[in-house]
Amino acid sequence: MSSSLSSTAAAAVDDVHSDSESASDNSSSTNDEGWEDVEPEDDSQPVVGLFSADVYPDVRSMLKETRERYNFDLVKVQKALDLDFFGTVKLVNYIRSEVKKGNRNPDVSSKSLFEDEIYLKPVLDDDALLYNLEDLEDEENSDKGGKSSAEKRIIELQEALERLQGQFTNYRLAVQKSLNEQLLKDEASTASSGPPARKDSGRKKSERIEEADADYFTSYSYNAIHESMLKDTVRTDAYRDFIYDNKGLFKNKVVLDVGCGTGILSMFCAKAGAKMVIAVDNSSIIEKARQNVYANGFGDIITCLHGKIEEVSLPVPQVDIIVSEWMGYGLLFEAMLDSVLWARDRYLAPDGLMVPSHATLRIAPFVDPDYIDSHVSFWKSVYGFDMSSMLANIHDEVIVTTTKPSSVAAEPAVFLQLPLHTITVEELSFVKNFEVTLTEDVDGLDGWNIWFDIFFLPSRTSKIKDDAVPSEMKKQGYVAFTTGPHGPETHWQQCVLLINHGGKDPVPLRQGQVIKGEIGYRKKEEGSRALEIEIQWGAEGLEKKQQTWSLQ
């Protein structure tokens, strides 16, 4: 079968758009009169053709005419692309939308052409074809002995229900957050009346954390976040390059992929020669990962498991390699590294390899008058009106944004190095010293800039220097990347922590001046994926300051 519509079909769609609308109107007007007294003799419904305004008594007759008249077989396309119910809905709406736009030869060679969720919205109102797609499935099931259309439809509806439940969870969490905030205010206002109900408060806290955890995994169920990560070529290329450049490390090895997402890293490992890859994810994205695995011929190598790594049962007692893309904003936001380290301690062989192997956190003074003018001072006069209320929390919350190299007013300091083979979960909450020397005169500090670097070393005994720079490591043949402002942009961007000067002008500082301080990372509360970052700093001629920011 041709991968695009035939020229015969294309010639027939000149005036489909307007004709389809009139046909739909005529059909509606015909059915409106006396509908109360009419009892249908069967379940068949009139169906508008795919490439014409012709109306057919049922789906089968429409499909037959479409094959004979327009040389297009919808059933064969569905089978060739291995489309499920929703995939077929998207195909139908894609064809109708292309015809509607005047495209006389819509390409149906790949389902990637109509993966967008927009194609779930019907192009025609009350499109009877979409209500009778079982007829397509029944024709194929008789040949391949698969599940009945009813069974498949139940599965499809269950998946749709799961998606709706995820959306409802997001709404419920927003309501719960608002309620919790009000409860905390109420508890604070009545604290003097007696001791707090510790048991009840503990229950509310655990429920809040459990719901936030559910929301976290739900957020990874949708395509957008995975599309963002996969299109981050700095990130994805680094994993691919390390795995493909070190096929000898992966050949005939057992690999564990923690938080596998779409399965891309698992497939890299399988292609590099791994004999078994175990892909684990607690999000429903695991179902799409499983489909990706089989679509690319790795079904006999990659096993996909749905659940938390701490709760699933692996088919092997230990693994040779753990690969994971666990990094969050500011490196440790989301607390996914906790789970990766748990998996390391539980499953990794004594001589096993962590991929990546090392990470470093960096901090530098942030000075960017243009940013302050655009995002802070802007609100003080908007068309002549004071909208300073919009600045609420701007000095309390970490801002994830892309910063300019010129905003870095000193050589960045490494304040934490994470050797992934040995670091512990306890070490992820810390207070570290740092020291930076200004490389230019500045009118004052606007904030702090934090980012991280990632390194892929081929041996668990390999070490990196405290001040190791990805660009220099790459010159030595290693795979590494930075998320800092001096490198290509990544989806992690940088973390900006704006300083609250209390309405006063910042103190000017001079080139060569040394700023010393301490930076601390801690979870917002036990079990939380949110972070609190606290920084204390001081310099000659600068009053010592301390400030805390939340990343959530």
Report the alpha-carbon distance of residue 3 to residue 333 in Å, rounded: 45
Whether the bond into 356 is cis, omega within 30 of 0: yes
Residues 6 or more apart from 507 whose CB is under 8 A from it?
A: 444, 541, 542, 543
Residue 49's DSSP bridge partners are none
Written as six digits, the tokens of 446 are: 């606007």
Catalytic status, residue 134: no
Q: Which residue has the tokens 């397509």?
A: 136
Task: Determine the length of the chain.
Answer: 552
* Pair 364, 411: CB distance under 8 Å: yes
Which string of DSSP letters, residue by residue, matches 405-425? GGGB-B--EEEEEEETTT--G
Q: What are phi and psi of 388, to 5 degrees?
A: -60, -20
In a 10 Å sphere around its CB, with 0-12 CB exposed, 13-18 middle and 19+ buried, how is residue 367 labelled? Answer: buried
Q: Could you say which DSSP state residue 52 is in?
A: S
CA atoms within 13 A on the CB side of 307: 9
Q: Which residue has the tokens 């670097």?
A: 453
CA-derived radius of gyration, the chain: 29
Report the alpha-carbon distance of residue 504 to residue 449 in Å, rounded: 21
Report the alpha-carbon distance of residue 260 to residue 474 in Å, rounded: 26
Pairing of strands 276-281, 302-306: parallel
- Give me the amino acid identity at 412: P
Residues 6 or more apart from 30 whose CB is under 8 A from it?
A: none
Catalytic status, residue 325: yes
Written as six digits, the tokens of 192 are: 């003097």
Widest pairwise Cα distance in the chain? 92
Report the alpha-carbon distance of residue 348 to residue 354 in Å, rounded: 9
Alpha helices in 71-197 (DSSP H): 74-80, 85-100, 128-131, 134-144, 149-189
CA distances from 259 to 324, 353, 450 (A): 7, 17, 25
- Give me the amino acid identity at 431: V
Instruction: Single out the catalytic residue among 36, 151, 310, 334.
Output: 334
Instruction: Single out the catalytic residue among 98, 137, 325, 532.
Output: 325
Report the alpha-carbon distance of residue 210 to residue 217 in Å, rounded: 11
Report the alpha-carbon distance of residue 294 to residue 314 in Å, rounded: 20
Report the alpha-carbon distance of residue 325 to residue 343 in Å, rounded: 14
* Pair 353, 460: CB distance under 8 Å: yes
User: Which residues are tagged catalytic?
Assistant: 325, 334
